[in-house]
Amino acid sequence: MGKEITSREQDYSQWYNDIILKSGLADYSAVRGCMVIKPYGYALWENMRDVLDKMFKETGHVNAYFPLFVPKSLFEAEEKNAEGFAKECAVVTHYRLKSDPERPGKLMVDPEAKLEEELVVRPTSEAIIWNTYKGWIQSYRDLPLLINQWANVVRWEMRTRLFLRTAEFLWQEGHTAHATKDEAVAEAEQMLHVYASFAEDWMAMPVVKGIKSPNERFAGAEETYCIEALMQDGKALQAGTSHFLGQNFAKAFDVKFSDKQNKLDYVWATSWGVSTRLIGALVMAHSDDDGLVLPPKLAPIQVVIVPIFKGEEQKALIDEKVKGIVKSLKAAGIKVKYDDNENSRPGWKFAEYEMKGVPVRIAIGARDLENNVVEVARRDTKEKSSYSLDGLPEAVIALLEEIQQNIYAKANTYRAEHITPADTWEEFNELLDKKGGFIAAHWDGTGDTEEKIKELSKATIRCIPINNQLEAGKCILTGNPSAQRVLFARAY
RNA sequence: CGGGAGGUAGUUCAGCCCGGUUAGAAUACCUGGUUUGGGACCAGGGGGUCGCUGGUUCGAAUCCAGUCCUCCCGACCA
């Protein structure tokens, strides 16, 4: 007997937790709302990070690092942004502990070490960064400023879930400054496309590109672009956001530049980010009741080789053969692991690597040696077939590519089947309750109506798709005229 | 932050209501042997501050209070 996971049908939330804990992605910690990312999960994050980092560099960005702490006076400078985050900020008020005279061996906060000004633990870094940019930007020649940072942030969430919402998480945040509005808007849009292609080409996760309604917009932004993904339980998940910040932060932090005519103006800004939440999205996009299913292009282990043998003699022969296979696969750029641990049997390993979502498993035994073949099993469909050792690396590369495409196609079909139009309020609610997914419905464009729909149905406007088809209609709730359908869903 | 559930061996859990030998099981782990094409079997063995703190009691895993962590539901979530 081994590790069992709860089925999706039985309890979707528990299934999600089981997958993460039992595949070794992450663990709970002694700190409320904070998790430990375990080596296997961190390896996955590193792969995602490396790909994204390369994409950022290719679009002209450079990395830097800004402080974890933000003085309260800076934090509150951009009022809307500060207000938006105020309720979930961790705040440092003291800088020293001392021995507790009443409890030997224990410590207490030293009341004499109170900070003159509190430090906010960054929930996002606009404040500290714009305060810094002020000193870096004088002329149009200093623009554009295209900086990204990989960092941790803290948001004191009331209810947390592994990867999807934790009090501390890892992310990247890009912060750019531009001379013109058009250029800043183009930057925000460009990064949206970068995120979308990462999600689709690497995570094999189809996304809808769109803009947020004013209610869902980032605090302090003029426009928020987003990619929205659909999970297997029919709920939507915001997978990345990119913001056009206008001149809001430039004004709040007094960041001005001289243009070619020597006229002073505030700079235009963007910010954009994706986080370890993407791992939660990845889990829910492809996995099944046997465990994780990882896209080959991001999997920490792409191929695992399991030997099947009777006795040391056979084992030695297989070891020898596998040595060559591993070498040829590695030479072909494949991340391969040979699990010759003799303490667990093949069946146990099969189940274990399925749990961990390894895309391809190769089993090799005495019978295979005689026939110059191996048994190749793919994680996505569970199909097994016999592959010749001749040309194995090429065949494996092709199979990995096929798996990547197959899981994308599967997710894409699911999504296509779960974008449903609704024209009446009854239909809208029935779809939400019975089918889930995105519901394309007319909305009169007001925040009040959006709020009311949310209250009544628990569904929010996920986005207004970019290049949305215009179509005159009536608001699903109020019947007021509407120019286009927007996507609603219940969301994470 | 509100409601509910939970925390006992690495893991899953029993024991708790009704306090009383040395706190159990399965699984995992260690040793030896037999095994190995889907989570092996036999024999032997090691492993526990019963989440933490305090209280009640001759005696607490068990009763009481506080506290920490987790899960589920809700509120909240740029």
**Would you say the C-beta of A241 is within 7 Å of strand B?**
yes
Same domain, A319 and A392: yes
**Boundaries of domain holding A253:** 2-68+125-286
Distance in Å from B67's C1' to A69's CA comes to 29
Q: Within window 349-368 on A, which residues have Cβ closer than 7 Å to strand B?
A: 349-352, 354-355, 361, 363-368
∠ at Cα A256 (A255, A260), nearest 5°? 150
Report how far residue A307's alpha carbon sits from residue A324's, in angstroms, rounded to the nearest whole number.
14
Nucleotide with the nearest C1' to A164 CA? B77
Nucleotide with the nearest C1' to A32 CA? B69
A466-476, pLDDT tens digit by residue? 999 999 999 99
Nucleotide with the nearest C1' to A355 CA? B39
Distance in Å from B51's C1' to A287's CA comes to 33
Q: Is A95 among the domain residues? A: no
Looking at residue A142, which CATH number applies to its domain? 3.30.930.10
A417's tokens: 């089947």
A266-304, pLDDT tens digit by residue? 999 999 999 999 999 999 999 999 999 999 999 999 999
Looking at residue A319, which CATH number applies to its domain? 3.40.50.800
Looking at residue A443, which CATH number applies to its domain? 3.30.110.30
- Which residues are registered as beta bridge partners of A150? A172
A143-158, pLDDT tens digit by residue? 999 999 999 999 999 8
- Which residues are registered as beta bridge partners of A71? A119
Report how far residue A423's alpha carbon sits from residue A453's, in angstroms, rounded to the nearest whole number.
14
Same domain, A32 and A143: yes
pLDDT band at A123 (very low <50, low <70, confident <90, very high): very high
Q: Is A93 among the domain residues? A: no
pLDDT at residue A1 in the model: 36
pLDDT at residue A3 in the model: 62
Same domain, A372 and A441: no
Distances (CA, A) of A321 to A118, A197, A325, A364, A366: 63, 39, 7, 9, 11
Helix axis angle, A311-331 to A392-417, nearest 10°: 70
Same domain, A249 and A331: no
Distance in Å from B12's C1' to A3's CA comes to 9
CA A87 and chain centroid, separation: 23
Q: Is A335 among the domain residues? A: yes
At which of A347, A365, A399 does a domain end?
A399
Q: Is A129 among the domain residues? A: yes
CA A179 and chain centroid, separation: 30
pLDDT at residue A99 in the model: 85
Q: Within window 190-219 on A, which residues have Cβ closer than 7 Å to strand B?
A: 216-219
- Please state the rounded mean pLDDT for residues A399-403: 98
**Would you say the C-beta of A136 is within 7 Å of strand B?**
no
Same domain, A389 and A246: no
A214-233, pLDDT tens digit by residue? 999 999 999 999 999 999 99
pLDDT at residue A40 in the model: 95
State which amino acid sits at residue A367.
Answer: R
Same domain, A279 and A310: no
pLDDT at residue A38 in the model: 92
A396's tokens: 């494996």
**Would you say the C-beta of A31 is within 7 Å of strand B?**
yes
Same domain, A323 and A209: no
pLDDT band at A2 (very low <50, low <70, confident <90, very high): very low
**Would you say the C-beta of A152 is within 7 Å of strand B?**
no
A316-365, pLDDT tens digit by residue? 999 999 999 999 999 999 999 999 988 889 999 999 999 999 999 999 99
Same domain, A343 and A265: no
pLDDT at residue A265 in the model: 97
At which of A226, A256, A286 does a domain end?
A286
pLDDT at residue A78 in the model: 94
**Would you say the C-beta of A124 is within 7 Å of strand B?**
yes
Q: Is A220 among the domain residues? A: yes
pLDDT at residue A102 in the model: 76
Same domain, A350 and A212: no
Distances (CA, A) of A123 to A240, A451, A478: 16, 25, 37
Same domain, A479 and A440: yes
For A82, other C-beta atoms within 10 Å of its C-beta total: 22
A127-144, pLDDT tens digit by residue? 999 999 999 999 999 999
Same domain, A214 and A158: yes
ipTM of the complex: 0.90
A80-91, pLDDT tens digit by residue? 999 999 999 999
Q: Is A165 among the domain residues? A: yes
- Please state the rounded mean pLDDT for residues A416-426: 96
A188-212, pLDDT tens digit by residue? 999 999 999 999 999 999 999 999 9
Is pLDDT above 50 for A73? yes
At which of A240, A261, A286 does a domain end?
A286
Distance in Å from B9's C1' to A24's CA comes to 21
Same domain, A141 and A279: yes
Q: Is A149 among the domain residues? A: yes
Distance in Å from B2's C1' to A357's CA comes to 38
Q: Is A449 among the domain residues? A: yes
**Domain count along chain A:** 3
| Sign of CA pseudo-dihedral A422, A227, A178, A175 | positive
pLDDT at residue A11 in the model: 86
- Chain B bases near protein CB atoms (7 A cut-off): 1-2, 26-30, 35-40, 68-78
Please name which of A237, A355, A346 lies closest in space to residue A294, comparing C-alpha atoms: A355
A161's tokens: 């879930």
Which of A3-12, A108-117, A119-128, A361-370 shows the lowest per-residue confidence on average (mean pLDDT)?
A3-12
Is pLDDT above 90 for A390? yes
